[in-house]
Amino acid sequence: MALRLPKPMMPQLFKEGYKHLQGLDEAVLRNISAVKEMSEMTRTSLGPNGRNKMVINHLEKLFVTNDAATIIRELDVVHPAARLLVMSSQQQEQEVGDGTNFVVIFAGELLQKAEYLLRMGLHPSEIVQGYELAANKAQEMLDELAVGKVESIVDPAQLKKAVQTAIASKQYGNEDFLGDLVTEAVSYIMPKNPVHFSVDGVRVVKIMGGSLPDSRVLRGMVFPREPEGIVKKATSAKVAIFTCSLDISQTETKGTVLIQSANDMLNFSKGEEAIVETQIKELADAGVKVVVSGSGIGDLTMHYLNRYGIMACRVPSKFDLRRLCRATGATPLARLGAPTAEEMGFCDVVETVEIGSNRVTAFRQEKEQSKTVTIVIRGATQNHLDDIERAIDDGVNVVKAVTKDPRLLPGAGAIEMELCKRLTSFGEKTPGLNQHAIKKYAEALEIIPRTLADNAGLDGSETVAKLYSAHYKSDASSAGVNVEGGDQAVIDAVQNGIFDVLAVKQWGLRYASSAALTILKIDQIIMSKPAGGPKPPAKNPNWDED
């Protein structure tokens, strides 16, 4: 048997500097190794006992969180195969807002199982075929395994069943309180047709100080700043919103004014004052009680707003300005002047509220249904507040997923074990080489309950063995991991109120399988030479030494 040497790249095909990796060892196994490393990194953050990561991004901003979506977003991943996994998890975040860690861990485990099959001699295309069969079968099985659904979207108790598990995976121990906050906030803004529910209607304002139980829900919008003028409260107020600066307009050209007497000096700015007063008087005559500016408010304008008793607020964020327009029904105006009746908004109460030692401005709608609601969260540190915000964001996104598909699955790793059991049975009945890949797909699902057990300080292998026993003993598909430890390692997820939303698992399986299959189909990596010339010389740290 002749020794097979690797073929060198033809020098006339590409420019000098190209890298070319091909074959099982150079391309496929290298990709699997990179993905495995990434999934192991986020694996310890899964579930209620998941550990935090301290991430410092390229802007030197510090993140302390166990939210996989945030960790992945802030890491600058370079390896092309790992970036495919990052894209899949980001798509999961955009689609359902939860389950990003599930996508990364499961895709990594699928590829690890594929590595074993590749070393045993199977061709990548045979593994891909088996994985596709298993993924399609898993999607069918999920529909059969639904154990209930959210009966009424407007019922907080029903909605909390779905929201609680998502929040518990980020803020274990506070899921009851935060679940109540989210369901209360959602109930205020839920439209008559729940399909039209928008996650943008729930805002979060973080105010340092106090503790988490001091957090509350306010109907309307809250801005963490005081009004600009002396007027601090307005009721049954017509609101005018301007995107422009409320100040004297500057001329495009510069000019010189020659002042020869004291009278010239006195009369110099009277024309401008008269124009500004006319504009503010028009607003007052139109019945406007509150003026909101997206830019600055000049001193002269502020003087006349105070004189006519008009409350003035400044909102620097254009996104918040749009939300306020939606909440009050106003039209944003690009020039200073009296708005028409259609362009004005309305708000029941606009007032300054003191929360802790901070004074904030609240726009509250009390009589009719509000289109925007704000959750004011309190906490000791900025990182803690950021983490609570991420948990609330996950909860609100789960509500959005439930409005599209209200079905629920048993949580705590129960659904993965049941899928594992059924797919193994399906693999044994499948003829040919596909059965090996189907069984490995089923085995890969073990990683979720095993990780939940490992992160809770339990023996992973022992817990998985007990779960297998529980699932094979009876037809019950709701035996899951007891993360609280104790004598009982396995609990009934349904009886303990631990549910996963079917849509989250459905999309998670789809994206993880798709990412793993895409990476398995790669057999060559061709990298061009990076653009740009040689790097400039680095600064010598000892430049001042003789």
Report how far residue 523's alpha carbon sits from residue 22's, in angstroms, rounded to the nearest whole number.
6
Give the DSSP per-residue string, 320-389: HHHHHHHHHT---BSS-SPPPTTT-EEEEEEEEEEETTEEEEEEE--SS--S-EEEEEEESSHHHHHHHH
Tokens of 259: 């002042």
* CATH 3.50.7.10 domain residues, the chain: 221-369
Residue 472 to residues 164, 413, 477: CA-CA distances in angstroms? 29, 15, 9
Phi, then psi, of 294 in degrees rounded to 5:
-85, -5
Tokens of 179: 């679940």
Please write down the HEC assignment for all residues of 180-228: HHHHHHHHHHCCCCHHHCCHHHEEEEEEEECCHHHCEEEECEEECCCCC
Please tell me the predicted confidence (pLDDT) of residue 538.
Answer: 67
* pLDDT, mean of residues 89-117: 85
Please tell me the predicted confidence (pLDDT) of residue 544.
Answer: 63
Q: Which residues of 266-294 are buried (b: 16+ CB within 10 A; e: fewer)?
A: eeeeeeeeeebbebbeebbebebbbbbbb
Please tell me the predicted confidence (pLDDT) of residue 458.
Answer: 80
Whether the per-residue pLDDT at 3 is higher than 60: the answer is no
* pLDDT, mean of residues 349-357: 78
Whether the per-residue pLDDT at 425 is higher than 70: the answer is yes
Indicate the class that CATH gives domain 19-147+410-527. mainly alpha
* CATH 1.10.560.10 domain residues, the chain: 19-147+410-527
pLDDT tens column, 154-167: 777 778 878 888 88
pLDDT tens column, 306-317: 888 888 888 887
- Contact in structure between 358 and 187 (CB atoms under 8 Å): no
For the chain, state the CA radius of gyration.
Answer: 30
Report how far residue 122's alpha carbon sits from residue 421's, in angstroms, rounded to the nearest whole number.
23
Whether the per-residue pLDDT at 9 is higher than 80: the answer is no
* pLDDT, mean of residues 46-71: 81
Please tell me the predicted confidence (pLDDT) of residue 51.
Answer: 82
Q: Is beta strand 233-242 parallel, antiparallel or unpaired with respect to 358-364?
A: unpaired
Using a 10 angstrom Cβ sphere, with 0-12 exposed, 13-18 middle and 19 or more buried, the burial of residue 110 is buried
Please tell me the predicted confidence (pLDDT) of residue 23.
Answer: 62
Whether the per-residue pLDDT at 90 is higher than 60: the answer is yes
Report how far residue 404's alpha carbon sits from residue 193's, in angstroms, rounded to the nearest whole number.
11
* CATH 3.30.260.10 domain residues, the chain: 158-219+373-404
Whether the per-residue pLDDT at 1 is higher than 50: the answer is no
Whether the per-residue pLDDT at 15 is higher than 80: the answer is no
Alpha carbon of residue 35 to chain centroid: 22
Whether the per-residue pLDDT at 516 is higher than 70: the answer is yes
Give the DSSP per-residue string, 418-462: HHHHHHHHHHHHS-STHHHHHHHHHHHTTHHHHHHHHHTTS-HHH
Whether the per-residue pLDDT at 229 is higher than 80: the answer is no
* pLDDT, mean of residues 458-475: 79
User: How high does pLDDT run on average in the chain?
Assistant: 79
> Could you tell me the fold of the domain covering 221-369?
GroEL (3.50.7)
Identify the helix (H) or strand (E) that includes residue 107: helix 100-120
> Could you tell me the fold of the domain covering 158-219+373-404?
GROEL; domain 2 (3.30.260)
Give the DSSP per-residue string, 14-33: S-TT-EEEEHIIIIIHHHHH
How many other C-beta atoms lie within 10 A of the C-beta of residue 217?
A: 18
Using a 10 angstrom Cβ sphere, with 0-12 exposed, 13-18 middle and 19 or more buried, the burial of residue 208 is middle
Helices and strands: H and E segment counts in the chain: 18, 18
Please tell me the predicted confidence (pLDDT) of residue 35.
Answer: 84
Q: pLDDT class for 298, splitting at 50, 70, 90? A: confident
Report how far residue 414's alpha carbon sits from residue 207's, in angstroms, rounded to the nearest whole number.
38
Please tell me the predicted confidence (pLDDT) of residue 498.
Answer: 80
Q: 331 or 370, which is more confident? A: 331
* pLDDT, mean of residues 215-242: 81
Tokens of 127: 């593994």
Whether the per-residue pLDDT at 232 is higher than 50: the answer is yes
Report how far residue 223's alpha carbon sits from residue 293's, in angstroms, rounded to the nearest whole number.
13
Using a 10 angstrom Cβ sphere, with 0-12 exposed, 13-18 middle and 19 or more buried, the burial of residue 357 is exposed
Please tell me the predicted confidence (pLDDT) of residue 274.
Answer: 77
- Contact in structure between 183 and 160 (CB atoms under 8 Å): yes
Tokens of 464: 């998985």
Report how far residue 347's alpha carbon sits from residue 527's, in angstroms, rounded to the nearest whole number.
59
Q: Among all chains, which residue has been given the structure tokens 């009851």?
A: 176
Q: pLDDT class for 2, splitting at 50, 70, 90? A: very low
pLDDT tens column, 527-541: 666 666 666 676 676
- Contact in structure between 490 and 471 (CB atoms under 8 Å): no
